[in-house]
Amino acid sequence: MKSYPECIACMFKQAVDTTRIITSDRAVRERVLRELAHRMDTVSLDKPPAISSRIVYDIITEITGEKDPYREKKKITNREALQLLPDLEKTVLASSDPLRAAVHLAVAGNVIDFGAGHSFDIKKDIGEIMKKPFTIDDIEKFERDLSPGKTLLYMGDNSGEIVLDTLMVKEILKRGTDVIFVVKSGPIINDATMEDAEAAGLTSLVKVIETGSDDMGINWERCSEELRSRFEKADIIISKGQANFETLSERKENIYFLLKAKCSSIAEELGVKPMDMVFLKNKANL
């Protein structure tokens, strides 16, 4: 997916929101925005938004020295999600279709995204999303794809959300499909890292590997050889969230995109309305 012109405005909003977390110093916040404006000519809209907007966080780190501004927020979302997990797991197990319930909860967890620039209430939003149908629903195709002996690569997204992913992972494992979960190698916004995977209990459930970089989505120029190899060999891939969709949408592998379309550009790309929920099998693999 290439960036839309509207992505430029989003980059400035991300810069404003993130620097406000770091400092109340107006002079520092002004420096960040002016530097971003100065470098904007170097930003290519031919690249995915997740790659184009990397410059925002590089500038913020350069000026403020802060590499992980969402550190405390990530811990809070993990803790809140873990508190909800026992009841949510009971909901999945009691469902007439546990896999569908788990997929629904996994996309419900996708509301936990500080980079998208919208507010959320984990408990309230999850309850509402569970009642909402998928606009694009390829769950039946996904279930047919699952079978013993296959390997599924699960591209994780955010902290907090990763806790709810465990429910979907467990349902996949019940079908005999092995799961390898992928997290970032370093902090970027509130994307999940190995620390979050450990907090969520994923490291004791399945093999967890890192992308090899601290980029949003997957930056194929900076990711590890291990990720490349695992990606190419996987029978099935789950791509969680917008940034992964942005950077994987043109790949030919057997990918299922699971996300909530939180902005108009992503919605347009998917052919849905903003805030619609999508579970889409990669059209290039049909």
pLDDT in tens, 193-219: 999 999 999 999 999 999 999 999 999
Rounded to whole angstroms, how far apart are CA atoms 56 and 74? Answer: 19
Residue 5: helix, strand or coil by DSSP?
Answer: coil
CATH architecture of 71-285: 3-Layer(aba) Sandwich (3.40)
Rounded to whole angstroms, how far apart are CA atoms 102 and 108? Answer: 10
pLDDT in tens, 5-20: 999 999 999 999 999 9
- Model pTM score: 0.93
Residue 115 clears pLDDT 70, i.e. is over it: no
Return the structure tokens found at 93. 């197990």
Rounded to whole angstroms, how far apart are CA atoms 69 and 46? Answer: 28
Residue 120 clears pLDDT 60, i.e. is over it: no
Higher pLDDT, residue 84 or 24: 24
Residue 224 clears pLDDT 90, i.e. is over it: yes
Identify the band that residue 117 occupies on the pLDDT scale cut at 50, 70 and 90: very low
Return phi, psi of residue 93, to 5°.
Answer: -65, -30
- 9-13, 35-39, 130-134, 224-228: segment of lowest average pLDDT: 130-134
